[in-house]
Amino acid sequence: MIVEGFLLFAIVSIWIAVFESVVMMYGAIRFIRREHRNPNAIPADMDHFPTVTVMVPAHNEEIVIATTVEHILGLNYPQEKVQIIVIADNCTDDTAGRLQRLKARPAYQDRNLQIMERVGTGGKSGALNDALKQATGEWICIYDADAAPERNALFFLVQKAMEEPEKYGAVFGRNKARNRNHNFLSSCINLELVTIQRVHHTGLWELFKLGTIPGTNFIVRTALMREIGGWDEDAITEDTAVSFEILTRGQLIALAPKAEAYQQEPEQLSVYMRQRERWAKGNYRVVMDNLHHLFNTSSWRIKLHVLYYAASYFWFMIALIISDIIFVVNIVYQIIGLFNPAVVSPFQFTSDVYIYLVIAWALMYYIYVLQINLALASDIGQSNTRNFILSCVSYFTYAQLFLVISLKAFYSMVVDRISGRQNKWYKTQRFD
Amino acid sequence: MQTAMGTHWFIIVCMVVTGFFAVAVLGLTIVTLRFRAKVIRDFDRRKWDDC
């Protein structure tokens, strides 16, 4: 009876996951069609645009920091309206030196570029909070130290904010993998990024006006950020935590997909696992901290946001583990049964229900491949045979890493809670 | 047909839900293929770099 209960739970959970994907794809198609009807228009005059403080937290980033700041200095936005603060946070390398040499170049003499050398706690959040005290812009824009924003990225972010200045507390753009063809791992990360941004982000925004700020390539209103009290220095995923703070204040986080920035993605499995474990752990904590919204008078949008995160990180994960166990155990017992028919699987279902688990699983796999290929189709130059094959293969390889990461992060979070261990901030490794 | 759980109704639910998803997935596949063809026709001919 318990086993059959697991089976029903797995089937219904997979259905819900498939339904969620169908809804997201519907929203994404609507969004992308509308986007294609509205071509880019860059105004010659940006006098009425607000002032912006661009903040770049950098901890031992000597390899990439100069290139990143050059990209920011080259943004198509009125120079007199941009303040740039680069925070060399607890650096033991030449990050600050490289920034000073860049600032000394004649081409940048007239630019409002501040280099803040900081020694303190709080990691990225602490660095951003210190910079927030010196920010003079009406909006704050954050770029990670490895970001390479496109020339019009900031313009598109601010343009979106100006559509509904009373409603939009923050606007976020698209992050692309600059090393997407380096190896199998970076290619799979690219597929994941494209799918999340071209299907899930667009679908959520189109249908529910829901968005989450990523760690980089977004703007947030300075007054709102000060009202929130800055970034949570205890949060591992400070961006998700801030997103909930913005939503609970009745403000929206808008999507501006034309605001594109390139970033480095991990090329080694160990680096990738550490980065994702940190994200998963941070998101678990944010979900736990915000679960109360489901049971109070918070708006439907916040409830949906909590459910979306909770479903992704808890429910679907458990359903996947159960269905994977049922499949694997049955396959093993089928093989054993070839040699010894007396051995019977503990998950032996005599009904047609098992067939529907197989069908549900097949549907889930198909929609997984389909949504990746929808996302690829909407991204110029990415819909090719190589990526199609990758999308088919990645379910059985890359996507299964999510289970390992989720379980490790969950275990780590439980140990933290029991032992009172403090979270350690882990910086993703960079390369030339 | 009686299942081990005695839940004939669940099989009916399975059939209805699976039918709904099959139609939805078919529709989304057609839209995706048409959309892909349109993007390739409009943009890829202009020799966009793949990298």
Q: What ipTM, to 2 d.p.?
A: 0.79
- pLDDT at site B6: 54
Whether the pLDDT of residue B3 is over 50: the answer is no
- Do A254 and A164 touch, CB atoms closer than 8 A? yes
Task: Output the pLDDT for position B51.
Answer: 41
From the list A168, A152, A150, A165, the residue with the least C-alpha distance to A71 is: A150
Are the beta carbons of A22 and B21 separated by less than 8 Å?
yes
The encoded tokens of residue A48 equal 């009425």
Helices (H), A316-384: 316-339, 353-377
On the question of pLDDT at B43 being above 70, the answer is no
Residues in A closer than 8 angstroms to B21, CB to CB, are: 15, 18-19, 22, 363
Q: Which chain B residue is nearest to residue A386, measuring alpha carbons?
A: B50
Judge residue A135's burial from the number of C-beta atoms within 10 Å of its C-beta, 0-12 exposed, 13-18 middle, 19 or more buried.
Answer: buried
Q: Which residue has the tokens 């703070």?
A: A245
Supply the Cα-derived Rg of chain A in whole angstroms: 23
Residue A421 φ/ψ region, left for φ over 0, alpha for ψ in the -120 to 50 degree band, beta for the rest: beta
Q: Which pLDDT belongs to residue A351?
A: 60
Question: Looking at the complex, does the CB of residue B25 fall below 8 Å from at least one CB of chain A?
Answer: yes
Q: What is the pLDDT of residue B44?
A: 59
Note whether B44 contacts A: Cβ–Cβ < 8 A: yes
- Residues of A near B (Cβ–Cβ under 8 Å) read 4, 8, 11, 15, 18-19, 22, 25-26, 29, 32, 180-181, 349-353, 356, 359-360, 363, 366-367, 370, 373-374, 376-378, 380-384
- B15: Cβ–Cβ under 8 A, 6 or more apart, which residues? none
Q: Which residues pair with A70 in a beta bridge?
A: none
Classify residue A84 as exposed, middle or buried by CB count within 10 Å of its CB (0-12, 13-18, 19+).
buried
> For every one of its 432 residues, what pLDDT tens digit does chain A have, with 9 covering 90 and above?
676 777 788 888 888 889 999 999 999 999 988 887 777 777 778 888 999 999 999 988 888 899 999 999 999 999 999 999 999 988 888 999 999 999 999 989 889 999 999 888 888 889 999 999 999 999 999 999 988 999 999 999 999 999 998 899 999 999 988 888 889 999 999 999 999 999 999 999 999 999 998 889 999 999 999 999 999 887 777 888 889 899 999 999 999 989 999 988 888 899 899 888 888 888 888 888 888 888 888 889 899 989 888 887 777 777 777 777 777 887 888 888 888 888 777 766 656 777 888 888 888 899 999 999 999 988 877 888 999 999 999 988 998 888 888 888 888 888 888 887 665 555 666 666
> What pLDDT shows up at residue A282?
82
- Residue A90 to residues A62, A98, A430: CA-CA distances in angstroms? 12, 15, 17
Query: Over the range A358-377, which residues count as b (16 or more CB within 10 Å of their CB) and which as e?
Result: ebbbebbebbbebbbbbbbb
Measured distance CA(A117)–CA(A115) in Å, rounded = 6
If you ran DSSP here, which 8-state letter would residue A422 be given?
Answer: P
At residue A82, φ and ψ (nearest 5 deg) are: -115, 125
Optimal mutation site among B1, B5, B7, B23, interface A, most CBs of chain A within 10 A: B5
Answer whether B48 sits within 8 Å of A22, measured CB to CB.
no
B5 versus A397: the higher-pLDDT residue is A397
CA distance B32 to chain A (A): 5
Interchain pair B11, A378: CB under 8 A: no
Which residues on adjacent β-strands are paired with residue A117? A88
DSSP chain B: ---TTS-HHHHHHHHHHHHHHHHHHHHHHHHHHHHHHHHHHHTGGG-----
Residue A173, number of CB atoms within 10 A of its CB = 27
Domains of chain A, first to last: 2-26+299-419 (no CATH), 50-260 (3.90.550.10)
Interstrand relation of A139-142 and A218-221 (parallel, antiparallel or unpaired): antiparallel
Q: Provide the 10 A C-beta neighbour count for residue A110.
A: 9
CB atoms within 10 A of CB A388: 14
